[in-house]
Amino acid sequence: MAGETSVLMPVIIVVALVIRSAFTEIRHPGSARREWAFITSRRAMAAAGVVAVTVTAIGWSQAG
């Protein structure tokens, strides 16, 4: 159960960002492309990966 919990938080964060982006795209067409432009940046993706791994590791250690 602890392993599932540590992975759950980063997944929830990503889903929340995607939903927010979808609602913004409905209101302002073309905005999603600007919001998700960081995906093409290797530096930004590396930083996001480090944050995701760190959050998962902290959650895992706190769960026992």
Length of the chain: 64
Beta strands in the chain (DSSP E): none
Distance (Å, rounded) from C-alpha 60 to C-alpha 64? 7
**Token digits of residue 17:** 């960002």
Q: How confident is the model at residue 55 (pLDDT cuts 50, 70, 90)?
A: confident
Query: Both tokens of residue 59?
Result: 């959650």
Q: What is the pLDDT of residues 7-50, one digit of tens each?
A: 777 788 889 989 999 999 999 998 888 888 877 889 988 998 89
